[in-house]
Amino acid sequence: MRYGMTSMEDALRDFMSKSRLKPRLTEVRIQENWEQLMGKTISRYTESIQLIDSKLHITTTVAPLKQELSYSKDRIIKLVNEMLGETVVREVVIR
């Protein structure tokens, strides 16, 4: 590369890190990989997943699943952050 030039990949990465779209795109990545991270059963009974201010909000109407997820909060945070490659989720809220 010539002096003062950046690759398209670097330019897009820089744009995304500064963009207001980043939190929403991160949320979509979590939703797309949820079944792979948590398994088919948990994924099937999870109604919604939202990322709001570093808090991952997980909604389900199945009481035993709510309890299992609340016991697994630390594991969920670790799995999601590892999948993303950065510390994005700091807390899990089960509804």
pTM score of the predicted model: 0.81
Residues 6+ apart with CB under 8 A from 3: none
Report if residue 54 sits inside a domain. Answer: yes
Dihedral of the alpha carbons of 31, 33, 38, 43, in degrees to the nearest 10: 50
Report if residue 10 sits inside a domain. Answer: no
Q: What is the DSSP string of 15-63?
A: HHHHSTTHHHHHHHHHHHHHHHHH-HHHHHT--EEEEETTEEEEE-S-H
In tens, the pLDDT along 24-82 reads 889 999 999 999 999 999 999 999 999 999 999 999 999 999 999 999 999 999 999 99
Report if residue 7 sits inside a domain. Answer: no
Domain encompassing residue 47: 22-94
Report if residue 83 sits inside a domain. Answer: yes
- pLDDT score of 6 more than 70: yes
Q: In what order do the strands lie in the sheet with 48-52?
A: 48-52, 55-59, 91-94
